[in-house]
Amino acid sequence: MEWWNNIADWFFSSNGRFVVSGIVLPAAAIIVAAIIGAWIASGSIKRLLAKHDRELKVAAIASLIDAAQQASVWNSLTPQEQIMSDRAVGQADIQIRLLPIKGSAVAADWAAHSLADMRRNSATFGYQVEPAVIEFRDRLIEWQERPGRSRKAFQSDLDRWSVEDEDAEKHLARQQEAWVAQQHHEQHSRPEVEATTVITPAAAPSPRESPTETPEQRAAREETQRVLENVNAVERHRESRDDSETPPPINAFPPRRASDND
């Protein structure tokens, strides 16, 4: 208790009052003011950063919604408009992925897949454009307000799409394999069919055996055959006459006379 009494005596003495009022209290006030100022500055900086992030997020979401409207009518855009839309989508995708928000990469993947579906379905007759764009907009706005809850919904959609894409790829692969097998079978079976066709040609049907021959056709055929027989008879007669009128062969070396020998 003696040391406590000494401290109390010193505190109420003139030296103690000078130290407390001249040194301790100003130092404590400075420290408290610094702590309060740091806390206020930290809050202001956090609010400023949150505002900046919110502006970036709003700008990226607005770009994606505008890209969704263009993707819904993708086939009616000019090539220049399509290039500009792709650039805007790429910039918005990068902005969303760089946001310091939980699940930003999942949201960017979901938006990219949704835009690709809109572009693919834009050429489909009867495709409802407005409901798809409205759903896309509402989902992104909900992700802005509740990132954690929307991240789970986006992830479930991505998993479902992944399974559907795998099934579609397997189906296309099976169709391609069946087509290749059919082409291979046709390629190897075609020479056999051609060889069979060349070796065993179909016999020409006889005119007399034609079951659909009319009397006029029969009379014309008989007249043609009679004319051909007459022509053949004339040719044979001419050939026999030429053979009978052929002169005897001329000896190229006639026999020499007796006077020639003398």
pLDDT at 16: 73
What is the full per-residue pLDDT of the chain (262 aa) written as tens digits?
Answer: 677 777 777 777 777 777 777 788 888 889 999 999 999 999 899 899 888 888 888 888 888 888 888 888 888 888 888 888 888 888 888 888 888 787 888 988 999 998 888 888 777 655 566 788 888 888 888 888 888 888 888 888 888 888 876 766 666 666 776 777 677 667 766 655 455 544 444 444 454 444 566 777 777 778 788 777 877 777 776 766 665 555 555 444 445 554 444 4
Q: What is the pLDDT of residue 207?
A: 46
- Report pLDDT for 253: 46
CA nearest to 104, candidates 95, 116, 93, 96: 96
Burial 102-127 (b: 16+ CB within 10 A, else e): ebbbbbbbbbbbbbeebbeebeeeee
196-202: long-range contacts (C-beta < 8 A, 24 or more apart)?
none
Residues 99 and 49: beta-carbon distance below 8 Å: no
Residue-level pLDDT at 33: 92
Chain center to CA of 148: 32
Q: How much is the pLDDT for 57?
A: 83
